[in-house]
């Protein structure tokens, strides 16, 4: 009968377990993991200046996925005023449009919101102060300077009377994107 040298098998088991433990422990090491962030399900971008939040900002291409050069395209977003005083959207600009046409109210009451409705036909109007429901308006970029398509982002700058200015990288979203 031949005998194995004593201690060979347990040392292999211990070495294997230590190696496996180190390898698995390394999966959670560091400050950035695959599960460290929660991604918003909203289509658009976000931005903030002072107490003004911009949420789900996108260019609403409507039934198409692209916007032709020279065309108009409305923005879609929600402007949230988290401050105790009202603020006003003074201007919207973009290097991708010749001008911008606001339709409806541009004042965002204290602790309230203003919904920019894109291509929706919904009514435009100020917020209802009694039920704390935000108002709605439309902002249209006119004279688009080049074809805009899904994928790249396009800078849009929002200037508020009190909060200041913020530039947001905006995407194009069309109804056709939802179709498979």
pLDDT band of residue 65 (cuts 50, 70, 90) is: confident
What's the rounded mean pLDDT across residues 58-70?
A: 93
Give the per-residue pLDDT at 122.
74
Q: How far is CA 138 from CA 8, 25, 93, 118, in A?
A: 77, 52, 14, 6
pLDDT tens, residue by residue, 133-171: 678 999 999 999 999 999 999 999 999 999 999 999 999
Closest CA to 89 of 102, 73, 76, 99: 102
In terms of Cα–Cα distance, which of 92, 80, 27 is closest to 55? 80
Domain boundaries, the chain: 45-178
CA atoms within 13 A on the CB side of 147: 7
pLDDT for 36:
41
Q: What is the CATH number of domain 45-178?
A: 2.60.40.1890
1-53: pLDDT as tens digits: 555 555 556 566 555 555 555 555 555 544 444 444 344 445 789 999 999 99
Cα distances from 46 to residues 40, 57, 74, 141, in angstroms, run 10, 6, 17, 19
């Amino acid at each position: 009968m031949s005998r194995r040298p004593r201690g060979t098998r347990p040392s292999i088991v211990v070495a294997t377990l230590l190696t496996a433990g180190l390898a698995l422990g390394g999966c959670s090491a560091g400050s950035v993991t695959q599960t460290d962030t929660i991604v918003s399900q909203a289509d658009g971008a976000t931005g903030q200046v002072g107490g003004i939040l911009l949420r789900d900002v996108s260019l609403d291409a409507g039934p198409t996925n692209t916007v032709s050069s020279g065309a108009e395209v409305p923005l879609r977003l929600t402007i949230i005023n988290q401050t105790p005083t009202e603020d006003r959207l003074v201007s919207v600009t973009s290097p991708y449009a010749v001008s911008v046409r606001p339709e409806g109210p541009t004042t965002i009451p204290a602790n309230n919101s203003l919904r920019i409705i894109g291509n929706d036909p919904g009514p435009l109007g100020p917020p209802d102060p009694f039920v704390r429901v935000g108002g709605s308006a439309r902002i249209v970029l006119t004279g688009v300077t080049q074809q805009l398509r899904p994928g790249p982002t396009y800078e849009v700058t929002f200037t508020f009377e009190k909060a200041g200015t913020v530039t947001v990288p905006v995407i194009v979203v069309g109804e056709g994107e939802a179709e498979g």
